[in-house]
A = this chain, B = another copy of it.
Amino acid sequence: MSEVAKAAGVSVMTVSNVVNGHRYVSEATRDRVLDAIDRLGYRVNVAARSLRSGSTGVIGLAVPDIEKPYFGQLAALIIDRAGALGYQVVVEQTGATRENELGALAHSRLRRYDGLILSTVRLGDEDADQLRSDLPVVVLGERLTGQGSVDRVAMANVEGAREATHHLIERGCRRVAALGAEPGSRPGAGALRAAGYRQALDEAGLPWRAELQVRCGFSMADGAAAVRVLLASGTPFDGVVCFTDTIAIGALRALADHGLTVPEDVLVAGFDDVEQAAYTVPSLTSVAPGHAEMVDAALRMLTERIAGHRDADAHEEFTGPHRLVVRQSTGGP
């Protein structure tokens, strides 16, 4: 920078002002400075700028696994929107372990990030105070605590699952299986969606049956395995509500392996409406959780907090606008 200043015959401060578009700088000097910058190939040193300004222009995004379509889609959106706001995004993968989710918070305290978007699946009430860090955090996911102690963006898990299940029942299913409720754990997405499933059964006057609710992880392999378990158990079923689309994709695979046709023999619905859902064979009915709106809300909350425009004790909650997208797997077009 000082070299540029020398070359342009001005002080470093003027160079800084030109670079940042600050202050009143005469047209002539600005041109001279810009020319010198160009000639010398000068680039600002972001480390120095960060040190001085106290902010990094980087936000962290912690997700379980960016390879999963749902999180990939989310990350793509966040990176784009954040970029438009002048932020770069560092992606951390937590592998859905509590340890790594806390680790993301710890890293953030390294002041590497101006803020953190944490897609949490394992953090519970006992970790809530960890979130009350000095650093702006927005949690993407389920309710951690009864009271809002953190800005949070969620989706309509209960309602979405309820509608999907209701839809299957409406289409004639009487024995609807549910795939994905996590083993006895804290109330994560799986448990909430399971609650919605049960609500729909209740409303329709159908009995809830333990043998129709299969606990499994959220991967395609898990979904396929769950269906195999179900089939092996001999429990009859005519519909399957999957708590994620990846589970559903695995389920479709396993059903096909066993010679069952969707939707003729069994109806299938998923959750998340990943891009893929429109391209499975048959295409997959799914609950669209309002990704874009969620991302926008999360970034708005985060940037407002970074800018200090928010009360430290007032926390906001946003729930995405969900919508059931009916496709072939439940007899749609």
Q: Please list the residues of chain A having a beta carbon within 8 angstroms of any beta carbon in chain B.
A: 41, 43-48, 50-51, 56, 58, 65-67, 69, 72-73, 75-76, 79-80, 83, 88-93, 109-112, 220, 224, 249-250, 252-253, 256, 275-276, 278-283
Are B276 and A47 touching (Cβ within 8 A)? no
Are B281 and A253 touching (Cβ within 8 A)? yes
Q: Which residues of the partner chain B approach A282 to less than 8 Å between Cβ atoms?
A: 256
Task: Kindly state the separation between the CA atoms of A79 and B278 in the bound complex, as whole angstroms.
Answer: 29
Question: What are 26 sample pairs from A and B whose C-beta atoms fall under 8 A apart?
Answer: A43-B110, A45-B110, A47-B47, A47-B48, A47-B111, A48-B51, A66-B66, A66-B76, A67-B72, A67-B76, A75-B91, A83-B93, A88-B90, A88-B92, A88-B112, A90-B91, A220-B275, A220-B279, A250-B279, A253-B278, A253-B280, A253-B281, A253-B283, A256-B282, A280-B281, A281-B281
Are B256 and A276 touching (Cβ within 8 A)? no
Nearest B-chain residue to A42, judged by Cβ: B109
Q: Which of B48, B69, B112 contacts A72 (CB 8 A)?
A: B69
Q: Which of A45, A47, A48, A220 has the most CB of B within 10 A?
A: A47
A172 to chain B, nearest CB (A): 23
Given A67-B73, A67-B275, also A93-B110 (CB < 8 A): no
Q: Which of B50, B92, B256, B279 contacts A47 (CB 8 A)?
A: B50
Q: Which residues of the partner chain B approach A45 to less than 8 Å between Cβ atoms?
A: 51, 110-111
A107 to chain B, nearest CB (A): 8
Number of copies: 2
Are A252 and B275 touching (Cβ within 8 A)? no
Q: Which residues of the partner chain B approach A69 to less than 8 Å between Cβ atoms?
A: 67, 69, 72
A205 to chain B, nearest CB (A): 34
| Supplied contacts A45-B51, A281-B281, 11 more A-B pairs, CB within 8 Å | A43-B109, A44-B110, A47-B50, A65-B76, A67-B75, A75-B91, A88-B112, A90-B91, A224-B279, A249-B279, A252-B279
Q: Which residues of the partner chain B approach A283 to less than 8 Å between Cβ atoms?
A: 253
Shortest 6 CB-CB contacts between residues of A and residues of B: A47-B50, A67-B76, A72-B72, A47-B51, A256-B281, A220-B279
Q: Which residues of the partner chain B approach A80 to less than 8 Å between Cβ atoms?
A: 93
Given A66-B66, A279-B253, also A79-B91 (CB < 8 A): yes
Are B58 and A47 touching (Cβ within 8 A)? no
Are B43 and A111 touching (Cβ within 8 A)? yes
Are B112 and A46 touching (Cβ within 8 A)? yes
Nearest B-chain residue to A246, judged by Cβ: B279
Nearest B-chain residue to A53, judged by Cβ: B47
A282 to chain B, nearest CB (A): 7
Q: Which residues of the partner chain B approach A91 to less than 8 Å between Cβ atoms?
A: 75, 79, 89-91
Q: Which residues of the partner chain B approach A92 to less than 8 Å between Cβ atoms?
A: 79, 83, 88
Task: Kindly state the separation between the CA atoms of A69 and B246 in the bound complex, as whole angstroms.
Answer: 13
Nearest B-chain residue to A107, judged by Cβ: B88
Given A43-B109, A46-B110, A256-B282, also A93-B67 (CB < 8 A): no
